[in-house]
Structure 1
């Protein structure tokens, strides 16, 4: 996580003359970080443990069918994200970033607890599948508002000249959540084995996620609102009519289109290498689950280490070079990395994931800053969140299912071609976008 010296802490935040104490800065980083980590933890826990709990919610007679059905609900949960982005984005743009962050983390925690305590297919039949679906829809709604609210809050809190480094904390915390989820998988697999995980061990990470979410809720209640929101809210409080959120999105439709274009290649690549690849290795190729999860932990730790460096680089040379390195680099390496990952060993899979995540770090470190810099304050959360959630639902949420299904039919190359096409779209979008480094958030 980025740290600030006393001199940096006294520098302007998002408006001339506004000063934020070191204590407030630390609270902002911790408050946004722990909630964002839990969102990523929730989604990653689902992806990691899907092979173990699939038969608990669906007919256990067909293992592959149960896994595919579980991944389909993973995608359906993503489908709620655009609705959540609009609901919580509108709340954040009207009532404040902090309130939206508090409610979203509370709702997401409830969904996690519901999965951890849900009855199984053996006890209530198909109704178990319905419970899983409803819990994932609840989490999708909450998490649709979590990321845009927290990244907007952090972008508006950060000093303009350090915004890239600061907002890289969004993915640092998210990746930390993934590491915790993965280590839980490793520990539980080593302690109880596959049979223990399938019987009841899969419940532990969901229950823990719900409990930590309740703790994060109380932390976020202590945060102060951003100066950018307070200033904008005050300036419009005496106006005859506040600007419409929907009208604001329409007026900034070019920026919304850029968010979708940049997110498409990013989310598919990220989901492919952090969720779908380990799931496929465990459930289809039958590699040792503990070894696969440890390989992912190593890749994620390297990812966490380089994120702030990539964010700082964008503060020096601009956001566009970072995105271009990601899009063009991954397009060139897509097929070689696929061949490396499918060559049969755990270490080859781990190396492929590490290389992919090094390139992903280039865009992950700057995406929150770029998105915030594209929109004005009164529509920043909604304008960022809705198109981002649409892109994630259409492209990211379907990735684990699509990749697993194509791979089971020996057609993985088609998925890679699809990924490359989206990467080139993202590169084209950033080439036609303005440079926004250190732009004042007004």
Structure 2
């Protein structure tokens, strides 16, 4: 069965997949962006450091659930098809996000509030674990190799725009409401909005069809009974390689989400300046990633990815030299524009590389494991590790951790074939 589709159909598929990724990450990342207000609502009796650590643990619970959710949804995706997973993950994310926005605070129901938030975060994480790999696999299997980098990079842009939307929402709230209003009820509004948007998108997703490569696999009786075991036996190095390739995207997304907490609580920036840095970072990334996705189709994924990871190192070093100077925050915002260039190169290419590491039979499972384990280790642990190191006196810990991930990403990209082609072209 041919996967050839018209330009109009490609654009429709792109919208459905990209919009879901944007909404999922809008919902998922609100938690970190409003960490200080969530601390006040659910850890009111704890000190600043202890309360923030509690929020970081809840944040990490969402990341910890991502590999499990990714494994479950990936298994069903490789066994029974890609389409149905989209409906389930979006419904799960929308409902769990609404729950966080409606859960009474600690003063009303005590420790039960924290437990309910943790359950909601775990459900959010499980949803993201299936949504993002599912979006990439679904779109990749409808597209020819020659334009896959460009289109998948737009999904990454959409995901980043979800982060941008969350950060921008926080910035607007700081301008529209007082600090006390945001802490009392204002922080809940973006979560409720996320649920409403999810229900609208769910109606559009019901029209989706199964991908041609998977239908071909079904007709040929090639569907594996246990894609996970096959993957672990035949392609374990590719999984490790994929995890390392996800290290920079994972840690840098967490870095910019954590930035308002780091800059506001530890470097004493104003709330507006802290949110403006995150907002500007995500905005500049969104403007660059599609171009670099197109470029990856022209010059190759490996060359672009490795170049970006290596160039990120001097950018992070320069950032560390100026972030706490008297010229901050304004000079830091200018330097940030330079730092996002190499980061955008990595973001535009890493997901396409990972999806092309695997054949159709294990593609969903392979991408799901690589992506979600990478984001759990390097993204979910990032704020908690940074807080621990900062408490120990290393105020620049976030930048040091990001630099370590850039080195790891470079080593993984170096092991790729120079002119990489997909294992099995859909």
Range into which the TM-score falls when normalised by the shorter chain: over 0.9
SS at match of 1:305: helix
Counterpart in the other structure of 1:283: 265
SS at match of 1:412: coil
Equivalent of residue 136 in structure 2, options 151, 173, 193: 151
Counterpart in the other structure of 1:58: 43
Per-residue deviation, residues 73-107 of structure 1 (Å, max 9, x unmatched): 10121000110011101111122211111101110
Change (3 A) 1:349 1:200: farther
CA distance in 2, matches of 1:78, 1:116: 19
Note the 1:17-416 alignment, pairs <5 A: 17-236=2-221, 242-250=224-232, 251-272=234-255, 274-343=256-325, 345-414=328-397, 416=399
TM-score in terms of structure 1 length: 0.91
1:436, distance to aligned residue in structure 2 (A): 5.8
Change (3 A) 1:334 1:308: same
Change (3 A) 1:187 1:170: same
Judge conservation of contact 2:259–2:274 (CA < 8 Å) in 1.
no
TM-score in terms of structure 2 length: 0.94
Judge conservation of contact 1:171–1:364 (CA < 8 Å) in 2.
yes
Structure 1: which 5+ residue stretches go unaligned? 1-14
Change (3 A) 1:436 1:228: farther
Compare 114-123 and 399-408 and name the one that shifted more: 399-408
1:258, distance to aligned residue in structure 2 (A): 0.9
1:70, distance to aligned residue in structure 2 (A): 0.5
CA distance in 2, matches of 1:394, 1:35: 24
Judge conservation of contact 1:107–1:142 (CA < 8 Å) in 2.
yes
Counterpart in the other structure of 2:414: 431
1:200, distance to aligned residue in structure 2 (A): 0.5
Per-residue deviation, residues 269-308 of structure 1 (Å, max 9, x unmatched): 3322x11222211233332212322333223222111111
